[in-house]
Amino acid sequence: MTKSAPLILTLALDERSFAFLDEKRRRYFPPERNFIPAHLTLFHQLPGERVAAIQDVLERTCRERARFPLSVTGLLSLGRGVAYTLDAPELTGFRSGLAREWAPWLTAQDRQKHRPHVTVQNNVDPKDASDLLARLTAEFVPFEATGIGVDLWWYRGGPWEQVGRSAFR
């Protein structure tokens, strides 16, 4: 089997929550590095040569799962950036099931404990990140979002290329 580009799996969010987070990312992420919309990464590097098998698992798994709530709970320092944190037991269970299914394929990064977040700033001076964290924290009001499915992407070094979306029922 030949090696192909890796795949990234992200959680698709409801339109309102996505719009809020994406607006923050467009505003605060360095524009010369902002190739992709706001996203919550579930897996950073799945084997591209397994794309058909991965899509089959996603279609089956997502068909069986209802949309689920997520709580946007606060902000997180990334040192050189800022992210919104999310909490959802259903998300943890969903991702854990996929991780068990794909265990032989997972990188060390994808085997780590998953900490759901959406990065809205990265690769900036730590002082700028600290200032933004303070500003966003001061105005933050927790809110509910909804996981509506998953998006599978090719990663080829630049902007991600969407393979497809598998929607929850």
Instruction: Kindly report, residue by residue over 21-79, the tens digit of the pLDDT.
Output: 999 999 999 999 898 999 999 999 999 999 999 999 999 999 999 999 999 999 999 99
Task: Kindly state whether residue 79 falls inside one of the protein's structural domains.
Answer: yes
Q: What CATH number should be reported for the domain holding residue 26?
A: 3.90.1140.10
Q: Kindly state the helix (H) or strand (E) to which residue 77 belongs, with its residue range.
A: strand 68-77
Task: Kindly state whether residue 26 falls inside one of the protein's structural domains.
Answer: yes
Contact 72, 145 (CB under 8 A): yes
Residue 1 has pLDDT above 60, yes or no: no
Range of the domain at 63: 7-167
Query: Model's pTM, two decimal places?
Result: 0.94
